[in-house]
C-alpha cells in the first residue's frame, strides 16, 4: 500500500504541476501562444505520462473522483478509498506550493486566481453556479466512462492512458471557459489554497460536483455497460487498470 500511495502522490503532483503550471506560467503570457488549447493538452499529457509511469503501481487515479467512480463500478476496493484521497490531496497541495514558489520568483507576481476553479465572477466566461454544476457533473461522469471502458478487459491492451489523456484534454477544451475545469477535487484544492480570490469559498462545488459525476459514471458503467467485471475476475488488481 505504501508504494500505491506514493504513486498516487507523485502522479497527482505531476498533474497539478504540469497542468496548472501551464496555465500559471505559460498561458499568462499571450506571446507564448499556448492559450486554452495548450493548457488542455498539458493536462492530458500529465495523465498520459504518469499513467504509463506509475499506473501499474497504483492504478493511476490521481483524482478522488476517479477513485470513487472505480469503487462504485466494483473495480476498486472501498477500504483503500480514503488513503488514496489523502495521498492525492497532499500531492496536489505539494505541487501547488512548488508552483507558487516558482511563479513568485518573477517581479510583480500576483497569485490572483492561480489556476483555481470558480463560477460567477470566478468563471473565465462568467458562467453561473448552475452551469458550472452541470458541466462538472456531466464531464466527470463521461470521464469515468472513458476510464472504465478503456481499462475494461474487452478493450485493446496498452492504450488506456492515451484514451484517458485525450479525454481529459477534450474535457478541458469544453469547460475551461465555464469553470476553468476541475473534474478533480484534489487539483481544485491544491491551487485554491494559494489563490488570492474567493476560490476557497467556492471549493465545495468542485468536490461535490465531480463526486456526483463519478457516482453517475461508475453506476452507468457497472449496471449498463460493464461485461460483469469485479476485482476477482477483471484479470488482475483493478487498480492496475485505471
Give the 3-state DSSP-derived string for 13-75, with helices as H, strands as E and coil as C.
HHHHHHHHHHHHHHCCCHHHCCHHHHHHHHHHHHHHHHHHHHHHHHCCCCCHHHHHHHHHCCC
Q: Residue 155 in 3-state DSSP? A: coil
Please give the DSSP secondary-structure letter assigned to residue 204. T
Q: Of 231, 224, 17, 205, which is closest to residue 103 (Cα–Cα)? A: 17
pTM value? Answer: 0.90
The contacts of residue 7 (CB under 8 Å, 6+ apart) are 54, 57, 58, 60
Phi/psi zone of residue 60: left (φ > 0), alpha (ψ -120 to 50 degrees), beta?
left
Q: For the segment 142-152, what is each residue's pLDDT rounded down to a tens digit?
A: 999 999 999 98
Which pLDDT does position 238 carry in this prediction? 36
Q: How far apart are CA 195 and CA 146, in angstroms?
A: 31
Q: For the segment 97-141, what is each residue's pLDDT rounded down to a tens digit?
A: 999 999 999 888 889 999 999 999 999 999 999 999 999 999 999
pLDDT tier for residue 64 given thresholds of 50, 70 and 90: very high
Question: How far does CA 147 lie from the centroid of its chain?
Answer: 12
Q: Give the start-to-end residue ranges of the domains of the chain.
A: 2-241
Which pLDDT does position 58 carry in this prediction? 94
User: 2-241: which CATH number, 1.20.1080.10, 3.40.50.300, 3.40.640.10, 1.20.210.10?
Assistant: 1.20.1080.10
* pLDDT above 70: percentage of residues in the chain: 91
Q: How far apart are CA 114 and CA 145, in angstroms?
A: 30
Cβ(218)–Cβ(148) below 8 Å? yes
Phi/psi zone of residue 120: left (φ > 0), alpha (ψ -120 to 50 degrees), beta?
left
Q: Which residue has the higher pLDDT, 137 or 59?
A: 137
Q: Which residue has the higher pLDDT, 49 or 241?
A: 49
Amino acid at each position: 500500500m505504501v508504494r500505491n500511495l506514493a504513486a498516487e502522490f507523485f502522479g497527482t503532483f505531476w498533474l497539478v504541476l504540469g497542468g496548472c503550471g501551464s496555465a500559471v506560467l505559460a498561458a499568462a503570457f499571450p506571446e507564448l501562444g499556448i492559450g486554452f488549447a495548450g493548457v488542455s493538452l498539458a493536462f492530458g499529457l500529465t495523465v498520459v505520462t504518469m499513467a504509463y509511469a506509475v499506473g501499474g503501481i497504483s492504478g493511476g487515479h490521481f483524482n478522488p473522483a476517479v477513485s470513487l467512480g472505480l469503487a462504485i463500478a466494483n473495480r476498486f476496493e472501498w477500504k483503500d478509498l480514503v488513503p488514496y484521497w489523502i495521498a492525492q490531496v497532499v500531492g496536489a497541495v505539494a505541487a501547488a506550493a512548488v508552483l507558487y514558489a516558482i511563479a513568485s520568483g518573477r517581479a510583480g507576481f500576483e497569485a490572483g486566481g492561480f489556476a483555481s476553479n470558480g463560477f460567477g465572477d470566478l468563471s473565465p466566461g462568467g458562467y453561473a453556479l448552475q452551469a458550472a454544476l452541470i458541466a462538472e457533473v456531466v464531464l466527470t461522469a463521461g470521464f469515468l466512462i472513458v476510464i472504465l471502458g478503456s481499462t475494461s478487459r474487452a478493450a485493446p491492451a496498452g492504450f488506456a492512458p492515451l484514451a484517458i489523456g485525450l479525454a481529459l484534454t477534450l474535457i478541458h477544451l469544453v469547460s475551461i471557459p465555464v469553470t476553468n475545469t476541475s473534474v478533480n477535487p484534489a487539483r481544485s484544492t491544491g491551487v485554491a489554497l494559494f489563490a488570492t480570490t474567493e476560490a476557497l469559498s467556492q471549493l465545495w462545488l468542485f468536490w461535490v460536483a465531480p463526486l456526483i459525476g463519478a457516482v453517475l459514471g461508475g453506476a452507468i458503467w457497472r449496471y449498463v455497460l460493464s461485461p460483469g467485471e469485479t476485482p476477482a475476475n477483471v484479470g488482475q488488481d483493478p487498480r492496475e487498470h485505471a
